[in-house]
Amino acid sequence: MKIFLVGSGGREHALAWKIAASPLCEKLVVAPGNPGIAGEPKVTCIPVAADAVPELVAAAVAERADLVVCGPEVALCAGLGDAMRAAGLQFFGPSRAAAEIEGSKAFAKRLMYQAEVPTAAFGVFDDLGSAEEFIDAQASQLVVKADGLAAGKGVTVTSTKEEAKLAARHMLAEGVFGAAGARVVIEERLVGRELSMLALCDGERLALLPTSEDHKAVRDGDQGPNTGGMGTHSPSPLVGAREEQRILDTIFQPMVQAMAGAGRPFQGLLYGGLMLTPERGPMVIEWNCRFGDPETQSVLMRLDEDILPWLAAVAAGKLPGGAPRVRPGAACCVVLAAQGYPEKTRLGDPIGGLPEPTDELRVFHAGTRRDAGRLLTAGGRVLGVTAHGADLDAARQRAYQAIDQIQFDGMHFRRDIGLRGKTTT
């Protein structure tokens, strides 16, 4: 099979690594890719931007791709899936209409409400005055979210009404997130522990992938501003087989049925960001329409079989029963970030000391570029050091030992990735 993969981040590097390992993969073309992706076997990177829909379609047609896989949400929300399918190509990823589950938080919240999927109480606003009146009327702490896509940074978790009003003002009046923040969702702040669940979906059927837990705050102890994700571990100790089934029955299946009932059948990777609350059980924080980043890095490190037939089955609308086989043990991904991330990020610092990949250790490139033979930082999240071990302690130790070898000026990372995974409270 000839595979065409869209994207350039750590998620796409993990997907490229796993797809290229498939004996079914003859050639893997990645647009635009990154230096790490370019180093994988069978891979050719081409300089087509991940949001350039017509150019991507033309390139995939020219390559006679048997399957197109899209990583980033921006392209999906822009209708890449519709355009690829219209060109006669098999595509892994939702239509533009189905991708609105991530592209509009207001749409997702309203659909959950109609489908009786457990989620936080909320209000939707496009003017500051109404938002402030709503905030004043609430008894609980609040979360303020930009309705549209904001690269994982459009969420402000607040502790006081003043903080909530300030966040609403930043989005609605000051336009800090542009069009993405022209409408906001304000919801009750749920208390508990976050869980990421990823499921392959063919429009009707689901296959759950291993659980994981993301660490979004920039500093240890979940302190500081939110980022796109500073690391993950898999599995979560909070969710056994019985709880997985409960989440499938009360959250994922009703949402998939609601999407189909709304004329927006979901084909691709459906990502549920959940809060495991002590009193109300699992509740939805957010939905994403694609593989998570950096969840994908740790989850794919644990898969023990070829992922390509699963991706092709989703695109064909013919998921088999069961779920991909998982190898024993645990995985941990630690993100190495550039100076200033997530605010004013410095780029262009030389990177050195990358360890050789093994079956138990991979360094996935997220924000890198090559210039005159040198590997340089080119994004806020630079590398995802991902390790597998017999247990979480072993995976953490292997990842942090590898990090000791890597150097670039301004490099910072959390030293507590996976520590919460050792406890169930």
Which 3-state string (H, E, C) describes 60-127? Answer: HHHCCCCEEEECCHHHHHCCHHHHHHHCCCCEECCCHHHHHHHHCHHHHHHHHHHHCCCECCEEEECC
The residue ranges of every structural domain in the chain are 2-93, 127-182, 193-316, 330-422
Cα(383)–Cα(351) distance, integer angstroms: 10
Count of CB atoms situated within 10 Å of the CB of 403:
20
Question: Do the two domains 127-182 and 193-316 of this chain adopt the same fold?
Answer: no
Which numeric CATH code is attached to 127-182?
A: 3.30.1490.20
From first to last of its 425 residues, the chain has per-residue pLDDT tens of 999 999 999 999 999 999 999 999 999 999 999 999 999 999 999 999 999 999 999 999 999 999 999 999 999 999 999 999 999 999 999 999 999 999 999 999 999 999 999 999 999 999 999 999 999 999 999 999 999 998 777 889 999 999 999 999 999 999 999 999 999 999 999 999 999 999 999 999 999 999 999 999 999 999 998 888 999 999 999 999 999 999 999 999 999 999 999 999 999 999 999 999 999 999 999 999 999 999 999 999 999 999 999 999 999 999 998 999 999 999 999 999 999 999 999 999 999 999 999 999 999 999 999 999 999 999 999 999 999 999 999 999 999 999 999 999 999 999 999 998 665 54
What class does CATH assign to 2-93? alpha beta
CA 2, 4, 9, 10 dihedral sign is negative
Query: Degrees (nearest 5) of the Cα angle 231, 237, 241?
Result: 125
Domain 330-422 has CATH 3.20.20.140: no
Q: Taking Cα atoms as reference points, which of 250, 351, 364, 201 lies closest to residue 296?
A: 364
Residue 317 makes CB contacts below 8 A (sequence gap 6+) with: 202, 203, 204, 267
DSSP class of 356 = P
Cα(231)–Cα(10) distance, integer angstroms: 11
- The CATH homologous superfamily for domain 193-316 is ATP-grasp fold, B domain (3.30.470.20)
Distances in whole angstroms, Cα of residue 325 to Cα of each of 10, 157, 263, 302: 23, 36, 32, 9
**pLDDT value of residue 385:** 98
Length of the chain: 425
**pLDDT value of residue 425:** 43
